[in-house]
Amino acid sequence: MLLVESTEGGYVLTVWGEVIKHKTLEIIKILSTFKKHDDWWLSHVIEIPDEFLYGLDALSNSEIIGSDVDILSAHNRHISLIKKAHDLKLITPVFYANFADALLERTEKNLKTELIITPGIVKYVYRIMLRENSKLIRVFSHKNIEVRKMKNELKMGLTLTDKTMMFGLYKFDNTYDFFSHFTSSDRDSVEWGNRLFEHFKKNSEAVEPGEFGI
């Protein structure tokens, strides 16, 4: 397999050479993504489909949000993003009071939301949260909120607007990391996030209001 060939003007890459060049550049970007934030990646459980791991070069211009000084900075920024986004796509392995309030605020503004949750969240909302806050019924029955569920539990969270991608993972102690998120407004990162969302959406099913006891 020739990677270069001789021409009148000198040596040029063959088709195979071009393919290897591009793949090498992708690998360099992936390594750069890991090296730039290696402490973060090495302290979290990475359970995403292989095809998206191989595409992590798209996140090379991302940043980690979260601070030891203000441990709620990432959490607050995440909630703010949920409240303000016009169209929102969410994958979440956890469900908590501030998150529920942000979704309620979206229903009051008639904003569109696509939400993918886990079987555990369906049970948690039905058994506990609806009893504590009956207003949540509006979230799971609102015409502008599409709720779907995975067949299995997830170890990652994803938040997408038309301009921003925010990505979260579990730590090795089996708790979701609320206090640091991977985020970017780079076009490649947002496109990567949208492809990841569509992958999970295709492998999920609609949640009927009756599953929440509504």
* Residue-wise DSSP of 145-193: EEEEEESS--SEEEEE-SS-EEEEEEETTS-B-SS-EEEE--HHHHHHH
Burial code (b: 16+ CB inside 10 Å, e: under 16) for 194-209 equals eebbeebbeebeebee
Chain length of the chain = 214
Confidence tier at 33 by pLDDT (50, 70, 90)? low
pLDDT over 80 at 176, yes or no: yes
Measured between alpha carbons, how far is 4 from 15 in angstroms, rounded to an integer?
Answer: 9
How much is the CA Rg of the chain, to the nearest whole Å? 20
Measured between alpha carbons, how far is 197 from 166 in angstroms, rounded to an integer?
Answer: 12
Taking a C-beta distance cutoff of 8 angstroms, is the pair 59, 184 a contact? yes
- The pLDDT of residue 17 is 43
Q: What is the reported pTM?
A: 0.81
Percent of the chain with pLDDT over 70: 79
Confidence tier at 62 by pLDDT (50, 70, 90)? confident
Taking a C-beta distance cutoff of 8 angstroms, is the pair 108, 139 a contact? no
Residue with the larger pLDDT of the pair 61 and 85: 85
- The pLDDT of residue 3 is 43
Over residues 32-52, mean pLDDT: 80
13 dihedral zone (left: phi>0; alpha: psi -120 to 50; beta): beta
Confidence tier at 115 by pLDDT (50, 70, 90)? very high
- The pLDDT of residue 82 is 93
Taking a C-beta distance cutoff of 8 angstroms, is the pair 168, 156 a contact? yes
- DSSP character string of 44-104: EE--S-HHHHTTGGGGTT-EEE--SSSTTHHHHHHHHHHHH-SEEEEE-S---HHHHHHHH
Burial code (b: 16+ CB inside 10 Å, e: under 16) for 121-156 equals bbebbbeebbeeeeebeebbebeebebbbbeeebbb
pLDDT over 70 at 47, yes or no: yes
Give the Cα-Cα-Cα angle 188, 81, 47 (nearest 5 degrees).
55
Tokens describing residue 143 = 């015409």
